[in-house]
A and B are shown apart, each in its own frame.
Chain A
Amino acid sequence: MPPRPSSTSISWPEKPGDLPRDLSDRSELDRLLAEQFPEAGGRLSPLRGGRDAAEKTLSLIDPRRYTKSRNHLKGAVTGLSPYIRHGVLSLAEVRDAVFQRIRSRDEGSKLINELGWRDFWQRMWRDLGDGIYDSREELKTGHDPSSYARELPEDIRSGRTGLACMDGFQSELTTRGWLHNHARMWMAAYVVHWRKVHWKAGADWFLEHLLDGDPSSNHLSWQWVASSFSHKPYFFNKGNLERFSDGQFCRTCSSNDCCPFEGSYEQLEDQLFANQGAIRDVPARRHRNPQQRSGGRQNPKRSGQAAMARPKR
């Protein structure tokens, strides 16, 4: 029997319309959600919510191995993002857990730095409000923004591109609701640069599925890949993907002899972008943020929008 969702109790009476708290197991939760939210597609993720699951995941973090291996799909990344995103664990708790496990600052500085990214994007969101949903700057790809497709192509959405890596990421995204950072970057670059799809279509699709789906981290990272929030577009080549995925996709890929990622960075740059010369050296553009934050109350002072924040490579 699948494990029972844990439950604390409440000390006030229930009323009609309250959703049940006493579920016998996860399949009952799955059925309940299907009934109550018929519009929400898919099944439960194997990743569980709740404090116990969060604490177990937190107990497994290894800041030293993280430093060396975090760019590899099989590296010692923490998997904490859904718990952090929804406040099951606070960033401060995770920070303290890192401090407890290290003997010197060196051992933990990489992981603390990545937690800093989360804090940074949250602060940007406070600053920009709904402005994160719009392109922050002009693209540096040399292509007209209107030339990017507004809809995500069906073969990407359904995992039938014929590329073992991208179809593998699609499968993980739609069943687990979590992807390694490098997989997110590769997939976003493929969608935007190889398929010429507008970053917003890809970003919205990620948010449908990610358990950690967070408009600020997600949309601004997509914009960083697209180059509407960075000096230049992010792209990769087969060698890079093969290396950090330990060749797990390329070995069995049916498109191996026509891999769109094959080539040097220079060759791919020529192929993907219209103003290659400029890509390497674009001056930062600054626009003032025209959006007003809707909430306002505790808003920090609104600074002019500034650019060039970037997720890790």
Chain B
Amino acid sequence: MTLQRPIIWVHEEALGSRNPALLEQPDRPAIFVFDTRWIREACISRKRLGFLYESALDLPVTLRKGDVAREVIAFVERHQADGVVSSLPVDPRLERIAESIEQHCQLDLLAPEQFVDMPRPPRLGRFSRYWRDAEPVVWEGF
């Protein structure tokens, strides 16, 4: 089901204008949440918080701190939204947050633009093996 009135959840992997959720829904309210548990547990320094803050200020987002899933869900209610759109994360921590949000409402995760779009997933294991598959495809764009 397509969301009619979603809010956008911007997370730490997509603090830029190419965020696919912001590109798709440029007029909807958006939120970025400082994950206080991660900051505490990983001893994240003020340097990084400043970097994240300055990057978030360049985007039309409300900034909050706390439990990310809880804050995002509260933002859904604040805007009487019918769900959440975000960009597909890689970090398992963000995936777990996405799962918590999803238990409460619909969450659409959009894949960001790829560095290399492979017809088949490349072989991993060794960089050299991956690069043998990926390099020619990357250079097709040159």
Contacts and interface: CB of A to CB of B under 8 A. Distances in A.
A242 B58 CA distance: 41
Interface string B58-78: 111111110000000000001
A211 interface: yes
A80 interface: no
Contacts of B92: 129-130, 293-295
B87 to A, nearest CB: 8
Interface string B112-142: 1111100001101111001100110011011
Interface in A222-272: none
Nearest to A20: B63
Interface in A194-214: 204, 207-211, 213
A119 B47 contact: no
B24 interface: no
Nearest to A298: B88
Contact of A44 (B47, B88, B112, B121): B47
Contacts of B34: 19, 36-37
Contacts of B114: 92
Nearest to B129: A306
A208 B43 contact: yes
B60 A11 contact: yes
A21 B98 CA distance: 25
Given A207-B42, A309-B125, A21 B52 contact: no
A273 interface: no
A37 B141 CA distance: 44
Contacts of B124: 120, 123-124, 127, 303, 306, 309
A101 B34 CA distance: 36
Given A45-B47, A86-B12, A294-B96, A125 B91 contact: yes
Interface in A112-167: 112-113, 115-120, 122-127, 129-130
B49 A37 contact: yes
B45 interface: yes
Contacts of B88: 298
A51 B16 contact: yes
A295 B54 CA distance: 29
B53 A86 contact: no
Interface centre among B40, B112, B125 (most CB of A within 10 A): B125
A91 B90 CA distance: 14
Contacts of A89: 16, 18
B140 to A, nearest CB: 11
A48 B54 contact: yes
Interface in A1-52: 5-12, 14-15, 17-21, 23, 26, 29-30, 33-34, 36-37, 39-45, 47-52
B89 to A, nearest CB: 8
B14 interface: yes
A279 interface: no
Contact of B116 (A10, A41, A108, A119): A119
A95 B49 contact: no
A22 to B, nearest CB: 9
A295 B39 CA distance: 21
Interface of A: 5-12, 14-15, 17-21, 23, 26, 29-30, 33-34, 36-37, 39-45, 47-54, 82-83, 85-93, 95-96, 99, 102, 105, 108, 112-113, 115-120, 122-127, 129-130, 174, 176-177, 204, 207-211, 213, 215-216, 293-298, 300-301, 303, 306-310
Interface of B: 12-19, 27, 29, 34, 36, 39-40, 42-55, 57-65, 78-79, 87-88, 90-92, 95-96, 98-99, 109, 111-116, 121-122, 124-127, 130-131, 134-135, 138-139, 141-142
Given A8-B57, A211-B51, 16 more contacts: A5-B57, A8-B59, A19-B65, A49-B15, A49-B53, A49-B54, A51-B16, A83-B55, A85-B13, A87-B16, A96-B141, A116-B135, A209-B45, A301-B121, A303-B125, A310-B127
